[in-house]
Amino acid sequence: MSQRLADRFAACRAAKRTAFVGFITAGYPRLGDTVPAMLEMEKNGCDVIELGVPFSDPMADGSVIEAASVVALKNGVQYSDVLKYCKDARAKGLSVPVLMMGYYNSFLAAGIEETCKAAKEAGVDGFIIVDLPCEEAWRIMAPAAAANDLSLVPLASPTSDPERIAMAAESGLNPIPGMVYVVSLLGVTGMRDKEEAEVKRARLAECKGVVESLRDAAVKRGAKRDDLPIVVGFGITTRAHVEEFGAFADGCVVGSKLVQELKNGGIAAVGRCVRELSGGPLKRVEGDAQDRANRYARAAESAKLLAERKKHADKWNFGSSVFGGRFIPETLMVAHEELEAAWNKWKVDPEFKAELAMLRRQFIGGPTPLYHAKRLSELVGGAQIWMKREELAHTGAHKINNAVGQALLAIKLGKKRIIAETGAGQHGVATAAACALLGLECIVYMGAVDCERQKLNCFRMSEMGAKVVPVQSGSRTLKDAVNEALRDWVTNIRTTHYIIGSAVGPHPFPDIVRDLQSVIGNEARAQMLNQTKGEHGHPTFNVGPGRLA
């Protein structure tokens, strides 16, 4: 199916045209709008259609596309419906390439082998999976995609280092030729109401640098500079944007603008918008047939190349078990690599460990007592129950151990701006206290519903100098606070550290939180040996949340 993608970019190049890539969310605003919208987009000049798979937590998307996903999910759209939309559109004559765009959980839930087989049967040409970086894609999805002639479109961003640029270029070329999607700015999708001229010039220059680096990497791989189609997206909303970015890229992606037009004006409006931004339908020229054939010839050696890449990818082990992983947008990848390297360095540094131990004693208030609950032990019978009194630590919970440790680590990384999410408020209060101690800026995202429930903790955070941001999107609770914090981090990744409060998220965060909270277990073991005089020599069970147990 990726032959369609190669053909279209070759035809656009022959016509000296910037390929127009248009995004809409499947099942939005109404279930019956998707297929007519796809046909209208093609008729008016859309060269490639991105069909968004609705997802509840789209961390890289702005408010317009997030709201569209919420509506589509309320409409009852399921993954199978997205495939059916594509199949129905093909039956009605749709001929341009279609890429399914979404987040890995949607595809994982459907089953990778089943997903790829069904996508091919429906007439899909490939996938853009925002939180499936090259390393994970090579191991998990590339074999099934290649077997079904589907492209896996990698992303590159202004934060991608040379190694990641090379990975993206290789992924765009093999095993199934496709394209590379370049994120034009740090942030989420969406329309920018105003962009100062200097900021715009910087964005263009930075984006052009990424595109040129990708072309250089493709040449080192043995390809020609124009063998790798490169499209640019995020914040592109006008014809002027398409012309400016199209001066150095092969195509431009427009999403939020089309989604909004579809909502406000319906099918006809989205067609008019596509025509205006794309410059109208493609006018084919003679002489592009051989170019198309040459571009696709690489696929013959795809099996061998895929095996080599998969072997190469095995050197990455994001976490120490099968439960590891780093399923995040490309913009965050380098920051996670830096964070992992920094933690591996500083966690064994004698001075860092001494400072952390001093703060545990003098600021947090450790070691916290270990208390033998005699009456409770007698009541339940059998096991002797001991309680590690972490509620006596500063701020009233164990959260402070992790917050102080990560705040110290942020200083080592040179980042003075801290963000966090909180539900009941304990992690937010702990992070605010750590930032007040160390002189760091602190922003805490909290669901608006939780802000009402936990007004006292909001007050405590504010009194310690933190800015509490009530999150109004979605259910206005913890999951939405996490989404907003991630969007902030994507936007401000160069200056900001995100203090995650639990042993969750992409590697190395589970390791960091585990290591910082291990002080509780280490203290408890020493206290148990001292207080029981060795009477309890058998292993004991620790009961608590994941980060403690």
Residues labelled catalytic: 50, 61
Q: Which helix (H) or strand (E) holds 203?
A: helix 197-220
**Which residues have a Cβ under 8 Å from the Cβ of 136 and sit 6 or more positions away?**
104, 318, 325, 326, 327
For 347, phi then psi, to 5°, come to: -70, -20
Strands (E), 245-404: 251-254, 370-372, 386-388
Which residues are registered as beta bridge partners of 184?
A: none
Q: How many CB atoms lie within 10 A of CB 272?
A: 14
- The residue type of 488 is D
Angstrom distance (rounded) from CA 393 to CA 370: 12
Taking alpha carbons only, the member of 342, 343, 341, 336 closest to residue 490 is 336
- The contacts found for 451-459 with CB under 8 angstroms, 24 or more apart, are 453/424, 454/424, 454/425, 456/425, 457/422, 457/424, 457/425, 457/426, 457/428, 457/429, 458/425
Taking alpha carbons only, the member of 390, 408, 407 closest to residue 399 is 390
The encoded tokens of residue 508 equal 């190395």
Q: Which amino acid makes up residue 119? A: A
What is the DSSP-derived secondary structure letter of residue 511?
Answer: H
Partners of 518 in beta bridges: none
